[in-house]
Structure 1
């Protein structure tokens, strides 16, 4: 659980903006479990708006590794030397939070042009790079050879990040289009050598369920789809919509357990601006009902919960959505989560919780109202009467052996069931 800068700031986040968001994260969301603060792509770009033009200017150290741009992250400069994110890592940790960064797999093309020496090794950048293997959609890096030189490169990167106090590394262009198992394994080995616990998150999706067992030994999170943005439905191939995620969530739910987290992507909730990674600055396009549906699906499938809102503009509605302890309890501690029924655009999930609790989530994906009349036994729950409590409204029901409800369009109901 945590916050990532991409949905609100895109490539442009600055230190002051990051610190402002961390203050709100620590004060408002951390008491409910939201504890990662992640700087997404572009922190090493002096002129991030020129990334696609080819005229971008990078900040690198003497060993060809990206470092934060001092003009954007002034605490990086100590006695005339760029010390990276060390000061920011210390600041985040002092707030009782964990610190994360985004990178793209590979080695900077600029480091290869300079043929920079690889730190703590006898290799140089040209021995590391595979210039036939660029990221298809990102112009910053070349791929890395699966050789001792390539391993030395990733060893140098992870050593650098460990020194900055990094707890979370999101590596992009590695889990699909293209899938790079060799580089995933090299990064995993490099993290292990640091003796620092750093969570490895792989992006983008859609990662195929067929390779899940390959990923389990090496990564703790992996994206199950392309980027998700604030659409209920989207006729374009990308970005993904909330409606799109139901089928993927059902396929991936069995893999969600401690240390293994299929990632349905960030939550594009709240205010997305000033420079979001998709579209113009805006309040989320999702309706309140759609936002609850998104939070309910992510929670009961046990996806990581990474919010993308500009936290400095967090409103009461979004705060309440993100701080429902009962819903968070399901996400963090439930088990045996699964989709148990799909009848057209009516989707039903169950999960088991602590102390014998059972959960039933009903989703109406239709564009109009939907009446649902079923026994609990129909959803593979032990037959008999249950007391119910709807976790978004806290409305309690009398003991019953089933449900008879009408859900508005795009809405959901999340029930806690007890004997």
Structure 2
């Protein structure tokens, strides 16, 4: 759970903006589990711009071809200090610090044939010049059949670890799938001696057939391309998350991408400066679905300038609690009804069953969910209480109150919205 600069600032975020978001995260959201700050792509490009990447930009590198923060954007990096001063400030707030990296080695390092630290090899020995990311040409791939490639990565990750990096989002790893690169990054992290989370992107067309390899080497992996503040982007994640939910387990998490909530697009890749175009009901839907499916949560809005309602949404205690405590999240109903779908997810925590009823149609709809389908026939006979997790003062209608197997939970669900309910079991004495 944390904040990532991409949705707001694209390639252009600055030190002051990172710290401003970190302070709001620590003050407002850390008590609810939001604890990580991530600087996304191109922090080493002094000429970074909104709405895209620079072709052939003069990136900031050290003598061994490793990226350094651009000092015009991150002034504390002066004199080769890298991200150490910024990471120290983030850590002092009680937060973890992360950065984005691209697969491979900077092409500038290859063109200049810079040495690989601690070896007799050079960047040309390490590079695979036939392997280039299709949407960002800063790097060549690495030739993992040559030991120079691992040596370069080992030195790069050791430098990041020395700066105090806790989280690495490594891009251009999964589309297509690069198993040799995945293994090499995991090996470099292990050799660094620092506990660093490895997050892999993007997940366009990623198959569950890769899950064992992913679990062995990474802690997070994206399951889609970039997601933005469009209902069609959110709707597409229902099927993906339903497919990946059975594979979620501690230490390895399918990631449905960042949450485009709050003020985004200040200097982003897509769109202009705006508050998220998702409606309030769609915002509840995206958060609830991500939580029930146990996806990592990275919010993309600029926290100091986001509307208060967004911060209230993220600070809902149920968000962090259910994400951490519930297990067995799964889709149990997907039913076309007229001009939309009723989609129901459940998860459990002890004697509590969490129920999320989503409605994808353009108008509100009242839905009736048989209790036996939510909790089983035996438990449906027990006494139950309900809690609405988005509107704690609201109690859903329960019919009948005796909790017979033929009973139902009746919910009014808004368009593109969700009703998120906790059903708490208290066994009847005569049946306990």
Establish whether TM, by shorter chain, passes 0.5: yes
**Range that drifts further, 268-277 or 53-62:** 53-62
Q: Equivalent residue of 1:31, what SS?
A: helix
Q: Equivalent residue of 1:18, what SS?
A: helix
Write the distance in 2 (CA, Å) between the matches of 1:156 and 1:55.
24
Instruction: Specify the alignment match of 2:395 in structure 1.
Output: 396
- Determine if contact 1:289/1:410 at 8 Å carries over to the other structure: yes
Instruction: Specify the alignment match of 1:378 in structure 2.
Output: 373
Query: Which whole-Å deviations, capped at 9, do the CAs of 1:304-357 have from their partners, x for residues lacking one?
Result: 01000101113221011101112321111110111011101100000011x421
- 1:116 aligned to which of 114, 117, 126: 114
- 1:416 aligned to which of 413, 422, 425: 422
Instruction: Specify the alignment match of 2:344 in structure 1.
Output: 348
Where does structure 2 lack aligned partners over 5 or more consecutive residues?
426-432
Q: Equivalent residue of 1:142, what SS?
A: strand
Query: Which whole-Å deviations, capped at 9, do the CAs of 1:101-131 have from their partners, x for residues lacking one?
Result: 0011000000001111111222210000000
Larger Rg: 2
Q: Equivalent residue of 1:201, what SS?
A: strand
CA apart distance, 1:43: 0.4
Instruction: Specify the alignment match of 1:236 in structure 2.
Output: none
Aligned residues: 407
- Determine if contact 1:151/1:186 at 8 Å carries over to the other structure: yes
- Determine if contact 2:275/2:306 at 8 Å carries over to the other structure: no
- Determine if contact 1:340/1:380 at 8 Å carries over to the other structure: no
1:405 pairs with 2:411 = yes
Computed over aligned residues only, the root mean square deviation of the Cα atoms, in angstroms, reads 1.4
Write the distance in 2 (CA, Å) between the matches of 1:412 and 1:12.
35
Q: Equivalent residue of 1:350, what SS?
A: strand
Write the distance in 2 (CA, Å) between the matches of 1:224 and 1:230.
17
Instruction: Specify the alignment match of 2:197 in structure 1.
Output: 199
Write the distance in 1 (CA, Å) between the matches of 2:384 and 2:119.
64
Write the distance in 2 (CA, Å) between the matches of 1:311 and 1:335.
30
TM-score, length basis structure 1: 0.94
Write the distance in 1 (CA, Å) between the matches of 2:180 and 2:257.
24
- Determine if contact 2:22/2:90 at 8 Å carries over to the other structure: yes
1:48 pairs with 2:40 = no
Q: Equivalent residue of 1:217, what SS?
A: helix
Q: Equivalent residue of 1:242, what SS?
A: helix
Instruction: Specify the alignment match of 2:135 in structure 1.
Output: 137
Write the distance in 2 (CA, Å) between the matches of 1:42 and 1:188.
22
Instruction: Specify the alignment match of 2:69 in structure 1.
Output: 68
Instruction: Specify the alignment match of 1:287 in structure 2.
Output: 279
Instruction: Specify the alignment match of 2:158 in structure 1.
Output: 159
Write the distance in 1 (CA, Å) between the matches of 2:413 and 2:30.
32
- Determine if contact 1:371/1:406 at 8 Å carries over to the other structure: yes
Write the distance in 2 (CA, Å) between the matches of 1:367 and 1:135.
39
- Determine if contact 1:388/1:415 at 8 Å carries over to the other structure: yes
1:4 pairs with 2:4 = yes
- Determine if contact 1:387/1:396 at 8 Å carries over to the other structure: no
- Determine if contact 1:253/1:338 at 8 Å carries over to the other structure: yes
Query: What does residue range 200-279 of structure 1 map to in structure 2 within 5 Å?
Result: 200-206=198-204, 207-233=206-232, 241-279=233-271
Write the distance in 2 (CA, Å) between the matches of 1:255 and 1:195.
28
TM-score, length basis structure 2: 0.92
Q: Equivalent residue of 1:228, what SS?
A: coil
- Determine if contact 2:229/2:277 at 8 Å carries over to the other structure: yes
